[in-house]
Structure 1
Amino acid sequence: MKLEAPDRQLGVPLRLGVGVFGASLALFVVRFLVPRPIAMSNNGDGGRVLCGAGITWKGLPEPFVHLTYAPTPAAPCRPTYLLTQSWLADLAVRIGRLTGLPGTLSLVILGLLSSVIAAAAVTAIVLGLPYPRRTRLFVAAGLLLVVADSAFFGYFAAILGEGAAFLGLLLAVGGLLLTAREGPWSYAGMAVTFAGGVLAVNAKVQTLTILPILAVAILLVRPGTLRGARRWASAALVIGAIGAVTLYAQQSVEPARAPDGTYSGFPGDDSREINVFNSIFLNIVDGRHDTQADLAELGLPPSFAQYAGNGWWHPHPATMDPLYPRYRDQISRRNVVTYFATHPGRTLEVLDRAATDQLTARPDYLGSFDENAGFPPHAQEHRVPVVSWLTGLIAPLGLFALVPIWLFVLARAWSRRRTAPGVAAAFLLAVSVTQFGAAALGDGIEGIKHQSVALFAILVAVVLAIPRVPRVSSPALCSSPLNGGQQPTVP
């Protein structure tokens, strides 16, 4: 074994980075456009993303993809909370103006833009890993399989929030890894972490919980050779910048108007009652258990048994009942949390079903093609199904499959806890577990789609956790993964 320091000069990693970026971008572009563009159809929520990009659209769930969204004569809208996919869509609109599409969002441009960001994020991760070249390329191949998988790739060219979450997580991980390198790489890593953090944290209301997890990860990764006050000041600067942009962005939108008519400046309050309602009538009062006992636990009248299993959008929901206004206060997060905390058996049942949803990976109602492509409604592409096919095989096992994956990543992250890759894997694991819990217990509908961020995070964590850490025989090199010093390679 020969130990080298390939990163003493910038030339070697720069050449590697150019190669990885070029190859990744080429693969993503071909993946996206050949033989025809693919995306994810609108599930009905896409109006928020379009509104943030300056396009008013009030379409219902659609079986086909619209490759372009043109401005309408309707009154301008303002989103009630921010989704960073709107920023990418707005940038795509601005690029479209240069190509003769004034005010029109082209999903082809949005998909190409997202492909560039995804390729850059994969490159940042590869450059940040303190591993030999062959190990880095192995990780790159694993990342490409995850990012290009049919369960995830279509979101990049969609008017849904998940695509921005995927890109943000990739950039945040790449930034954390680069931050631990020496010299210019460390400062570049801080900038990439900031960009990724803003994208991921603000991708959806559900992803706002990523902010404190990312803050801890930033504090744990030592920035290059910085020590003492400079180290903590740089970490505080990145965390503060992400927090400030998030606060400004979320407060710059229209105040949320809840179903009861009240207004709030907190993101997602316009759908809070809807989410809690669905959690109660789809997860708890679902018609498959002791309905009367569950209604009594929740403080709801026995007559509401007729609405068991009927969500907010059902033709016959409890909201139509004359008694509903009297019991609206019982449709609360506190009530739901109390129920799940005092009924561990039912909670495990809901979590097990959510684990199956997560590993299923892809909802069957989101189509991949536009109407002119010649496919039936809701038709889906399966060009790169490797990862989602594997998770689909174990999906029926629910928690019995998902928990071992968590434990594997946790064990590998703990064994590398003093290294940037260990911190990055732990960050992704924490994101995945918290997103899993929030989606499982916080809303009873679209479980597969709402688990996609959690699944993406854990799959990227698995890719980072698989490679063995190179054995270092020289004590002088033992701290290199954190301080950016010499890295061992095996020729």
Structure 2
Amino acid sequence: MKLEVPKRQLDAEALLGLGVFGASLALFVVRFLVPRPIAMSNNGDGARVLCGAGITWHGGPEPFIHLAYSADPGAAPCRPTYLLTQGWLADVAVRLGGLVGVHGTLSLVVLGLLSSIIAAAAITTIVLGLPHDRRARLAVAAGLLLVVADSAFFGYFAAVLGEGAAFLGLLLVAGGLLLTAREGRWSYAGMAVALVGGVLAVNAKVQTLTILPILVLAILLVRPGTLRGARRWASAALVIGALGAITLYAQQSVEPAVAPDGTLAARPGDDSREINVFNSIFLNIVDGKHDTQADLAELGLPPSFAQYAGNGWWHPHPARTDPSYGQYRGQLSRRNVVTYFATHPGRTLEVLNRAATDQLTARPDYLGSFDQSAGFAPHAQEYRVPVVSWLTGLIAPLGLFVLVPIWLFVLVRAWFQRREPLGVVLAFLLAVSLTQFGTAALGDGIEGIKHQSVALFTVLLAVVLAIPVRRRAVRTA
């Protein structure tokens, strides 16, 4: 028997969707461009995103943003050593610029407007997928707008950094999973949205590849609204298969990188794997603030390496310049780091607490918001929408003492909603936030605030969606 839905209800849903999308996009455009465009300056990693857009760039960290990056006609073609899907968005922005006669140039204004459109569409999918009454859905939309437009996050949308694509992908995944559980055509649209969002989020950075298994589980747990039995599992398998195939293809499309030891990297990110482990050891473990000799002995490193305590890979005097470094290089392994943290719970908690403070701090002070012609000092930052990051900044010194209760709040709400699609979405967002938190905290000792941004953004989305509201089922064919 076919489910018949009054045309009036369909019109109401369409009106709600158009209204949320139009209002969100208008607010984002004004927030982005008035009184001048804003972004996040290049921390030195932007060459990979630009390379994904066909632009070879050799610049280092910059105190100002460039509103336009132009390809050098004489530069050799490049391929990124690992994929960032922000590079795909940048490539689309370059092509859009070409339509108006600006060829071979990435305009951050175009990139920011493109990301704003995607963000507005993603918020719309979440609102349409929520099983709440109209007032509650609009309240959630307002909360989402405050998070997405916050100064700690919004600038990444128009930046040559990977975080912006991660934010957009996570928003789309949340909306897609919620829509998948609705009846009729909404369900099929939700699967498509979840797939697009998953590709963006999983491939946003090497760090976000850990999202893939969590998303696979979420797709299996969300029941499509109109599909039952074999058709349900076939649809889930189709989405998961497409997600895995696209990710595999994308990750294999990058240029094999040269690792620090001179060998070709076999996996994405292998060129920085030793650097990450090195920083984790000399910034998180052998940091000069504890029993350095005991820590060196525990890691199998010589006592003479005490002179390098607290010196990261790019420090003027790092351990890698020591004549005996090659002899002990094998001790700088991921397994050695994991073993140390597993057998030293006190030190592990200390590192995690510092990472929690970094996460709640929300915004690193070295990423500027303006181009040089705006007349601001180097590294100057905008604070047009500071509400969420201001609140998290206030509680940041409490570290795990406040972050753990936030996790527990989301967990409890996910448990009470466990039989509903919203419960699956909350569990997905919490799992992503926790894994991103642990990966950034223990896997690398530098740029802690920036590397925690994906974890913070995800848990804030979960908090907005987890706030108790009056529920009313919405099922539309």
The TM-score by the shorter chain falls in which range? over 0.9
**CA separation of 1:301 and 1:220: change in aligned 2, threshold 3 A:** same
Deviations 1:139-165 (A, max 9, x none): 000000000000000000000000000
Tell me which amino acid in the other structure corresponds to 2:127: V
- Whichever residue aligns with residue 36 of structure 1, its letter is R
> How large is the RMSD of aligned CA atoms in angstroms?
1.3
Partners of 2:64 and 2:370 within 8 A in 1: yes
Name the aligned partner's letter for residue 90 of structure 1: D
Contact 2:68 2:105 in 1 (8 A): yes
**1:318 and 2:319 matched:** yes
**Superposed CA offset, 1:4-36 (max 9, x none):** x88984221111000000000000000000000
Is 1:332 the counterpart of 2:341? The answer is no
Secondary structure of residue in 2 paired with 1:271: helix
Tell me which amino acid in the other structure corresponds to 2:384: R
Write the distance in 1 (CA, Å) between the matches of 2:152 and 2:266. Answer: 33
Match of 1:44 in 2: 44
1:223 aligned partner: 224
Other-structure match for 2:177: 176
Contact kept? 1:135, 1:467, Cα under 8 Å: no
Aligned counterparts of 2:256 and 2:470: Cα–Cα separation in 1: 49
- 1:25-40 mapped onto 2 (5 Å cutoff): 25-40=25-40
Are 2:383 and 1:373 aligned?
Answer: no
Distance 1:389 1:206, change over 3 A: same
Counterpart of 1:387? 388
Aligned to 1:433: 434
CA separation of 1:12 and 1:295: change in aligned 2, threshold 3 A: same
Give 2:37's aligned amino acid: P
Distance 1:222 1:7 in 2: 25
Go from structure 1 to structure 2 and tell me whether the alpha carbon gap of 1:296 and 1:6 turns closer, same or farther (over 3 Å shift).
farther
Q: Which residue in 1 is equivalent to 2:240?
A: 239
Q: Secondary structure at the match of 2:271?
A: coil
Please give the residue correspondences for 1:52-91 in structure 2 after superposition, counting only pairs within 5 Å: 52-72=52-72, 73-91=74-92
CA distance in 2, matches of 1:6, 1:206: 46
TM-score scaled by length of structure 2: 0.97
Change (3 A) 1:260 1:392: same
Conserved 8 A contact 1:361-1:449? yes
Aligned equivalents of 2:17, 2:468: Cα separation in 1: 19
Query: Structure 1: which amino acid aligns with 2:69?
Result: Y
C-alpha change, 1:6 and 1:57, in structure 2 (3 Å) is: farther
Cα distance in 2 for partners of 1:45, 1:89 equals 14
Q: 1:93·1:105 contact (CA, 8 Å) conserved in 2?
A: yes
1:40-439 equivalences under 5 Å are: 40-72=40-72, 73-439=74-440
- Provide the C-alpha distance between the structure 1 equivalents of 2:134 and 2:6, rounded to a whole number of angstroms: 9
Report how far residue 256 of structure 1 moved: 2.2
CA distance in 1, matches of 2:371, 2:275: 30
Amino acid corresponding to residue 46 of structure 1 in structure 2: G
Q: Please name the residue that 2:22 is paired with.
A: 22
Contact 1:7-1:13 within 8 A present in 2 as well: no
Separation in structure 1 between the aligned mates of residue 191 and residue 367 of structure 2, nearest angstrom: 36
What secondary structure sits across from 2:342 in the alignment? helix
- What are the superposed Cα offsets for residues 22-52 of structure 1, whole Å, 9 maximum, x if unpaired? 0000000000000000000000000010011
Identical counterparts, % of pairs: 82
Q: Runs of 4+ in structure 1 displaced over 6 angstroms? A: 5-8
Q: Post-superposition shift, 1:485? A: 7.1
**1:475 counterpart residue number:** none
Partner of 1:477: none
By how many angstroms is 1:270 displaced? 0.4
Question: 1:166/1:6 Cα in 2 relative to 1: closer, same or farther (>3 Å)?
Answer: farther
Cα distance in 2 between the residues matched to 1:379 and 1:454: 24
Tell me, in whole angstroms, the C-alpha distance in 1 between the residues paired with 2:9 and 2:416: 29
Amino acid at match of 1:24: S
Q: Check the 8 A contact 2:251/2:268 in 1, yes or no.
A: yes
Supply the AA of the counterpart residue of 1:52: G
Deviations 1:269-292 (A, max 9, x none): 000000000000000000000000
Extract unaligned runs of 5+ from structure 1. Answer: 473-479, 487-491
CA contact (8 A) 1:251 1:265 kept: no
Change in Cα spacing, 1:7 to 1:130, as seen in structure 2 (3 Å) is farther
Structure 2 unaligned blocks of 5 or more: none
Tell me whether 250-259 or 400-409 shows the greater mean CA deviation.
Answer: 250-259
For the residues of structure 2 that align with 1:154 and 1:6, how far apart are their CA atoms?
42
Post-superposition shift, 1:77? 1.1
What amino acid does structure 1 have at the position aligned with 2:399? G
Shift of 1:467: 3.0
Contact 2:275 2:313 in 1 (8 A): yes
Counterpart secondary structure, 1:404: helix
CA deviations 1:336-359 (Å, max 9, x no partner) are 000000000000000000000000
